[in-house]
Amino acid sequence: MPDRDVPRVLVIDDDVRVRHFLTTALGAAGFAVTATGTGEEGLRLAASRPELVVLDVELPDLSGREVCRRLKAAEDTATIPVLMLSGVFTAAVDRSEALEDGSDAYLTKPVTSRELVAMARALLRTARAERRSHEHQRAAEELRRRVAQSKAMVDVARSITASLDLQGVLDRIVDEACLLLGARRVAIAVLEAGAEPMPIIRFRAVRGLSPGFAQRLRPLSWRDGTTPIAIRERRPIWTADILTDRALELTPPTRAIIEAEGYRAVLSVPLLAGERVLGAIVVYRDLVGPFSEDDIDITQVFAAQAAVALENADLYRRASERAEKLTTLSALTRLITGAASSREVFGAVAEAAVRLLAARASQVWVDDPTNAMLRIEGTVSVDPTLAERLGKFRIMPHGDGLTGAVFATRTPIFVRDLRSDPRFRAQALVEEGAVRAYAGIPLVAAEGVVVGVLSLLFGERGDFTDEEKDLVRLLADQAAIAIVQAQLYGEAEGRRRRAEATADNLERSQGQLVKTERLRALGEMAAGVAHDFNNLLSVILGRAELMLRRVREPSMIRDLEAVRRAAQDGADTVRRIQEFTRTRRTRSFERVDLADVAREVVELTRPRWEVEAQSRGVRYEFTVEGLAPPVAGRPEELREVLTNLITNAVDA
């Protein structure tokens, strides 16, 4: 028989002969026997957990009954069967007292080897049966526990997949953890973005703790409790007594909260999603003591479920944010391509930046190249007081401040902490804590020309993610498109107004030209009529004056005088018409024979130079001599010129 199958028996008897007998008999029956003569030594040897103890009632140091009581009281030896022997205490009352002390069997001396071995084997069979029964019970209990765990895990998994209510799922997880771990207090802490070196750890779901616990407990360092350590080291961390554990460095606020809540043992298991740590699930116990491996394993399962719930919630949040971003960008595109004004588009861009990026304020700056500065064309703020204070900065010279630097360098600028960047002009807002972070993106047109800047102001926040930077660039592109469109619209509107003005001027010019042509035609006609009429009047006037010199009858003289005055008045009228129309004569020249014109004028003025002169005793002779080539001119005007020359000569 292999050694590991040999039953081990401990014999405790102070009588050397009896001890030898017991050892020999049991050894011959196949038992591995260890023997001693004192109770104290027997208790020490029993720590090796033999399968049977044969114990004498009367011992020199401790009574066998005391040894039996101690064996049955100790957790490690309580299940070892004890066979008590006595040659002195043989009464029935002695037997019953021994059984009450925990003995499993009682034999009186002298005992035969056959009886001894039979009793030993019976006790071993009973003990083994009891162990198997206990093992079966433990297995059944373990099975029930595992089934309960599996059911709880399935219920939690179903809650995770069926609900988008993160808080409800986290509450369900802590409730199930309380039931399966037999713990009265369980919490889930979530890691939030915050300033280095210590991020914010916020408790989202709590059971068995005071209502203000989740709001008050904020670990202030990486060793301020088991939870920050578990999150930082990415492994389960537990302490049997959090108030006395020297591995921890509790801050006074944390220690005060723990003492007020009354818990002592704490287990923290991190919530892991791939390489990321999302938080921790924490189990609290009021009594000082360790956590078992089974406790840690179950808590890790719940931690995995909580991590899945948080990851699903984060995925849903990001999907919702992307959908909102797409909807907002689509609305901006419709505004830009529609009939909306540029100022309306700028306001929509600023509002979208505030809403999608959780900014406190957003401003759209447009370049004014004439004055070498930037002007605000659109602004939105979640705080009216902040908006009023930012309203003092309506213009920004090129290169001045952070926004001017973005424009001048054509480079985006992201500043997480404005306290470290003096270029921000509104430093008073930074000192008061109204703003902490800044983002500025140049608005670049298709030709690469910077037409403005989109600036955003934030409160306390973490680093800008690549996704946030890409979203800011998209919004900046929309604003740039709006600026270019506004410029193109302004240019088109200017061309339209200039075209309308040109058309109006052309219409007025055409009307004026028509009027001018009409007046010119009338002037030419009047000039022609006046000239012809003047020639006729000259003949009438000359003939009338000639007849006045020849007649002597008073009545005839009055009539001729009336004719002369009428002819003279007509000649004056014709002269005024000629003076009025002189600047409007635009008739073309014609071929004129100067000799013929001269002969006509001599004949027309004959009454003046011949008759009138002779009456004064003067005689004139006019002859036309020589040949002159034809000229281009107007014959009537030439006749008028020659007539004036002859008349002036006669009058002189």
Of residues 68 and 172, more confidence is placed in 68
Q: Tell me, what's the pLDDT at 2? A: 41
Mean pLDDT of 139-145: 73
The pLDDT > 90 percentage for the chain reads 20
Positive or negative, the Cα torsion across 603, 607, 609, 610?
positive
The pLDDT tens digits of the residues spanning 523-544 come to 777 766 776 777 777 778 777 7
Mean pLDDT of 157-186: 76
Question: Which position has the token pair 């004014």?
Answer: 368
Strands, E assignment, 568-652: 590-592, 631-633
pLDDT at residue 167 tops 90: no
Q: Tell me, what's the pLDDT at 583? A: 43
Of residues 73 and 548, more confidence is placed in 73
Q: Tell me, what's the pLDDT at 582? A: 59
Q: Tell me, what's the pLDDT at 185? A: 92
In contact, 150 and 158? CB cutoff 8 Å: no
pLDDT at residue 3 tops 60: no
| C-alpha angle 200-204-207 in degrees, rounded to nearest 5 | 130
How far lies 432's CA from each of 139, 417, 427, in Å?
65, 13, 9
Q: What is the pTM of this model?
A: 0.46
Q: Grade residue 337 by pLDDT with cuts at 50, 70 and 90.
A: low
pLDDT at residue 559 tops 70: yes
Q: State residue 170 phi and psi, 5-degree precision.
A: -65, -40
Mean pLDDT of 191-204: 75
Q: Grade residue 194 by pLDDT with cuts at 50, 70 and 90.
A: low
Q: Which two tokens stand for residue 92?
A: 């029935």
In contact, 61 and 36? CB cutoff 8 Å: no
Q: Grade residue 584 by pLDDT with cuts at 50, 70 and 90.
A: very low
Three-state SS string over 153-182 comes to HHHHHHHHHHCCCHHHHHHHHHHHHHHHHC
pLDDT at residue 209 tops 50: yes
The pLDDT tens digits of the residues spanning 235-262 come to 999 999 999 999 999 999 999 999 999 9
Q: Grade residue 224 by pLDDT with cuts at 50, 70 and 90.
A: very high
Cis peptide, bond prior to residue 110, ω within 30 of zero: yes
Supply the mean pLDDT for the chain: 82
Q: Which two tokens stand for residue 315?
A: 């995925």
Of residues 60 and 192, more confidence is placed in 60
| From 336-340, 384-388, 391-395, 471-475, the region with the lowest mean pLDDT | 336-340
Q: Grade residue 169 by pLDDT with cuts at 50, 70 and 90.
A: confident
The pLDDT tens digits of the residues spanning 442-497 come to 988 867 788 889 888 888 887 888 878 887 787 777 777 777 776 677 777 778 88
| From 191-195, 292-296, 306-310, the region with the lowest mean pLDDT | 191-195
The pLDDT tens digits of the residues spanning 81-133 come to 999 998 888 788 888 888 888 888 888 888 888 988 999 999 999 888 888 88
pLDDT at residue 195 tops 60: no
Of residues 611 and 431, more confidence is placed in 431
The pLDDT tens digits of the residues spanning 27-53 come to 999 999 999 999 999 999 998 999 999
Of residues 563 and 447, more confidence is placed in 563
In the chain, the domains with their CATH numbers are 3-137 (3.40.50.2300), 163-319 (3.30.450.40), 324-492 (3.30.450.40), 530-651 (3.30.565)
Q: State residue 615 phi and psi, 5-degree precision.
A: -65, -20
Strand (E) or helix (H) holding 76: none
Strands, E assignment, 317-435: 361-368, 373-381, 395-397, 413-415
Q: Grade residue 20 by pLDDT with cuts at 50, 70 and 90.
A: very high
pLDDT at residue 381 tops 60: yes
